[in-house]
Amino acid sequence: MSLMTMIAKMSEGLEKTCAIFFLTLLFAIPLGMIVALLRMSKNKIISGIVRFFITVLRGTPLMLQLLAVTYGPHYLFGADISRNKLIPVVIAFSINYAAYFAEIYRGGIESIPKGQYEAAAVLGYSRLQTFMRIILPQVVKRILPSMTNEVITLVKDTSIAFAVSYEEIFTIGKQIANSQTSFMPFVVAGVFYYLFNFVVDRIMGLFEKRLNYYS
């Protein structure tokens, strides 16, 4: 198989890799905020439970979580294994990444000085206004570097979907590698992930630059 056909074949997985990447961000970014707010709840029971789930999600391999979400329902309830693997993949990735994002958000929120809340309270901002207008924008700026790290990791983690044979780039590359007994597909995959992250890094850099108007 020529390099060109190999690249062409693997590109067919590009769409699926992008689907995992963007859908995970779409769900994990807001879900992470909900998890972070619950984690910071004054109610000890709620924060305790959420904290436990966060430690489980961060303390066990994403691949294991992916297998559990994809095949768990089958073993537990005899449900059909979903034909469209995108759904379990996105669910597993979103929950896992939400746990990581939540801890980043929490760190960001807790790093905002108490005085910001107090000034807002005296100036008549409601709790929601204080959060949306005063706290959140400052949190976004503070957490952007950590978020960039996570997003870069996510690009690479999409390859874990090969564990449930979801045909993204890495899965296709592995199939070709097996049938052709060649290492070349892995090199192609590596180059692909590198280029993807090169773009991600540039875009996140732009965001950081836009928020550089104050320090």
Partner 1 sequence: MSKETKLDQPASAPILEVRGLQKSFGSIEVLKDISFSVTQGNVVTVIGPSGSGKSTLLRCASFLETANGGDILYDGEYALKDGVYAEKKDLNRFRTRFGMVFQNFNLFPHYSVMKNICEPPMLRGCGKEEARERAAQLLQKMGLEGKEDAYPCQLSGGQQQRVAIARALALEPEILYFDEPTSALDPELTGEVLKVIRQLAADRMTMVVVTHEMAFARAVSHRVVFMADGCIVEEGSPEQVFEDPRQDRTKQFLSNYTK
Choose, by CB under 8 A, the member of 58, 127, 133, 210 that binds partner 1: 133
Q: 159: closest CA among 6, 21, 65? A: 21
Q: Is 85 in the site for partner 1 (CB under 8 A)?
A: no
Q: Is 215 in the site for partner 1 (CB under 8 A)?
A: yes
Q: Is 210 in the site for partner 1 (CB under 8 A)?
A: no
Nearer to partner 1, 38 or 134 (CB): 134
Nearer to partner 1, 108 or 173 (CB): 108
Structure tokens at 98: 């939400």
Choose, by CB under 8 A, the member of 123, 195, 199, 206 that binds partner 1: 123
Structure tokens at 59: 């303390």
Gap between the Cα atoms of 36 and 51, Å rounded: 9
Are the CB atoms for 165 and 5 separated by under 8 Å? no
CB of 215 to partner 1, least distance (A): 5
> Binding residues for partner 1, how many (CB under 8 A)?
20
Are the CB atoms for 9 and 176 separated by under 8 Å? yes
Q: Which stretch binds partner 1 (CB under 8 A): 96-104, 126-134, 147-155, 171-179?
A: 126-134
Q: Could you give the maximum distance between any two Cα atoms of the chain, in Å? A: 70
Q: Is 77 in the site for partner 1 (CB under 8 A)?
A: no
CB of 142 to partner 1, least distance (A): 11
Gap between the Cα atoms of 92 and 24, Å rounded: 9
Q: Is 129 in the site for partner 1 (CB under 8 A)?
A: yes
Q: Which stretch binds partner 1 (CB under 8 A): 27-35, 45-53, 73-81, 111-119?
A: 111-119
Q: Is 212 in the site for partner 1 (CB under 8 A)?
A: no
Q: Is 5 in the site for partner 1 (CB under 8 A)?
A: no
Gap between the Cα atoms of 106 and 111, Å rounded: 8
Structure tokens at 114: 């108490």
Q: Is 132 in the site for partner 1 (CB under 8 A)?
A: no
Q: Is 143 in the site for partner 1 (CB under 8 A)?
A: no
Is the C-alpha dihedral spanning 178, 14, 168, 9 positive or negative?
negative
Q: Is 113 in the site for partner 1 (CB under 8 A)?
A: yes
212-to-36, 130, 138, 205, 206 alpha-carbon distances in Å? 25, 22, 11, 11, 10
Gap between the Cα atoms of 124 and 119, Å rounded: 9
Query: Binding residues for partner 1, per CB under 8 A?
Result: 113, 115-116, 118-125, 129, 133-134, 137-138, 141, 213-215
